[in-house]
Amino acid sequence: MKKNLLIFCLLILPGVVMAQKPKRPLGPPTKAEDRAAILHDQCLHRNTYTAAQRRSFFPFSTAGSVKLISFEFVLYHDAEILDTAGNLINPPMPHDTQEVITPMAPNRFKLNYRKIKEIKQLSAKGLDSLTDILYNVGFTPVKNLTFEIAGHGYSCYEPRNAILFFDAAGNLTQYIELCFMCHRYYLSSRKIRYTADCEQKSDMLKGFFLAQGINYVDPRRQPEN
């Protein structure tokens, strides 16, 4: 019996192998695939979610108020930095080494107001505009898409802006940190819904900050007095 089963398997195996379709070798995308990937990466606004639905997304759903801030990104050092001729390049940094946002407990953060350049509380209209950019602006649909552009973030990360979520008692509970210069962001909780990182998204959020009166969005642009 075992001998007959072995003979049957040897006879059927070549047919199974021959019936498998050869896989396309992995290589660079064609020009058509490249054009499709670029088109897919363009931001497209669609009314996917209503304002009420967007406000139900965490942490907007639990926030008593939402504020935008700008702050200086600082790399600290304790010693004087001299050039080869002995001239002072950078003096020692101030000893306020506390971060702008420091985690204190689950869903609780401490804000270092000494380092904040600008702060603006969003109105209901401003909240709806922000969530519209975050959740109704996404990738352009493309049929039979083979390749996608990996992302727009650079290897740097020097955040200077953030979206802050406060509870009704005024406690900072969550935040979204933004680096417009490097096109990257950080979410304080895994429960925060990701925003589609299409090509123009970072610039759209930067424009929103500027429209709300936050002028410091990169090191080359200082707040107006």
* DSSP state letter for 61: G
In tens, the pLDDT along 69-122 reads 999 887 655 556 666 777 766 665 566 678 999 999 999 999 999 999 999 999
Alpha helices of the chain — where are they, by DSSP H? 2-19, 31-41, 51-55, 124-136, 201-211
Q: What is this structure's pTM?
A: 0.77
Tell me, what's the pLDDT at 91? 61
pLDDT per position as a tens digit, 209-224 = 999 999 999 876 565 5
Nearest to 101 by CA among 209, 174, 169: 174
Is the confidence at residue 18, as pLDDT, over 50?
A: no
Whole-angstrom CA distances from 173 to 66, 187, 190 are 10, 12, 13
Q: Are 101 and 115 in contact (CB under 8 A)?
A: no
